[in-house]
Amino acid sequence: MRSQRVWDLVIPLKPLGLAKSRLAATAGDDLRPGLALAFAQDTVAAVLACAVVRGVCVVTDDPLAATELSALGARIVPDAPAAGLNAALAHGARAVRSERPGAAVAALNADLPALRPAELESVLGSAAEAERAFLADAAGIGTTLLTASGGVPLAPAFGGPSRARHRASGAREITLPGVDSVRRDVDTADDLRAAIALGVGPRTATAVTALRA
Ligand SMILES: Nc1nc2c(ncn2[C@@H]2O[C@H](COP(=O)(O)OP(=O)(O)OP(=O)(O)O)[C@@H](O)[C@H]2O)c(=O)[nH]1
Ligand SMILES: C=C(OP(=O)(O)O)C(=O)O
C-alpha cells in the first residue's frame, strides 16, 4: 500500500485591524476585525482536522489572532520580514523546514471560512503528484493554495491575479471538481454570501449573526 504524504501548512494573516478591507462597507470597523479572526479560526480548525496535515504555521503579528489560533493548535511565527504576503509565506515555509527539513509545504489563505477537511485532503492528494501545484480561487483569478514537495522552494506569487503567475512559474494547476470549499475565499460581501451558502464554520456563523444584528 502506498503511504500517504503528510503536509505542513503555512497560513498568512494580516493584523486584524487591517484585514478584509474590502468588507468595510459590510462589516464596519467595529465588526470587521472579529469577522477576519473568525474566518482565520474556521480555516485553521478545518486544516487541523484534515487527515493528511501534520501541522499549521500561522505567520502573523496580530496578538489576539496569535493567542486564539495557537489555542487551536497552530504554531505562530511573527511576520519578521514585514515585506508583504509573499515574504511572509516564504518566511513561514523556512520556519517549518528549519524544524522539519524536507517537509512538503502548502500555503493557504486565512479567509476560507467554509473549508471542509475532506476537500482539502483531496486537493493535497492531487498536489502530491507534482513538485509544485496550485488551486485557483472561486473567481478563477487568484489562488487559494500553493504547494511544494520536500526540497522544492515554495516560490509564492500570491496577490491579485496570481493564478496566471503561478501557472507561468511552472506550478501545476489542480483541476479537481468538487472542492468548492477550498476555492471559496471571502473578500467581498458577495463572497461572504457564497461562503454562507456553502456552509461556514461555527465562529464565522456567530460573527455573521452579530453582523445581521
Ligand atoms: N502575514 C501576512 N499576511 C498577509 C499579508 N498580506 C496579506 N496577508 C494575508 O494573506 C491572505 C490573502 O490576502 P487578502 O485576501 O488580500 O486578504 P486581506 O488583505 O485581508 O483583504 P483585503 O484587505 O480586502 O485586501 C489573507 O489571509 C491575509 O490576511 C502580509 O503582509 N503579512
Ligand atoms: C492573495 C490573493 O487573494 P486576493 O485575491 O484575496 O487578494 C491571491 O489570490 O493571490
pLDDT digits (tens, 9 = 90+) for 8-58: 999 999 999 999 999 988 888 889 999 999 999 999 999 999 999 999 999
User: Does ligand 1 come within 6 angstroms of the Cβ of 106?
Assistant: no
Q: What is the best residue among 185, 190, 191, 192 to mutate for testing ligand 2's pocket, by most ligand atoms within 8 Å of CB?
A: 185
Beta carbons within 8 Å of 209's beta carbon, 6+ residues apart? none
Q: What is the best residue among 10, 59, 85 to mutate for testing ligand 1's pocket, by most ligand atoms within 8 Å of CB?
A: 85
CA of 185 to the centre of ligand 2 (A): 8
What is the rounded distance in angstroms from the CA atom of residue 100 to the CA atom of residue 10? 13
Q: In the Cβ-directed half-sphere of 172, how many Cα atoms lie within 13 Å?
A: 14
Query: What strand order describes the sheet that includes 172-173?
Result: 75-77, 53-59, 7-12, 105-108, 143-148, 132-136, 172-173
What is the rounded distance in angstroms from the CA atom of residue 76 to the CA atom of residue 198? 29
What is the rounded distance in angstroms from the CA atom of residue 202 to the CA atom of residue 126? 28
Domains of the chain: 7-212 (3.90.550.10)
- Nearest-atom index, ligand 2, CA of 141: 9
pLDDT digits (tens, 9 = 90+) for 135-181: 999 999 999 999 999 999 999 999 999 999 999 999 999 999 999 99
What is the rounded distance in angstroms from the CA atom of residue 133 to the CA atom of residue 146? 6
Grid coordinates of 23:
468588507
Query: Which pLDDT band, with edges at 50, 70 and 90, does 212 fall under?
Result: confident
143 marked as part of a ligand binding site: yes
User: Does ligand 2 come within 6 angstroms of the Cβ of 143?
Assistant: yes
Closest CA to 128 of 1, 4, 8, 10: 4
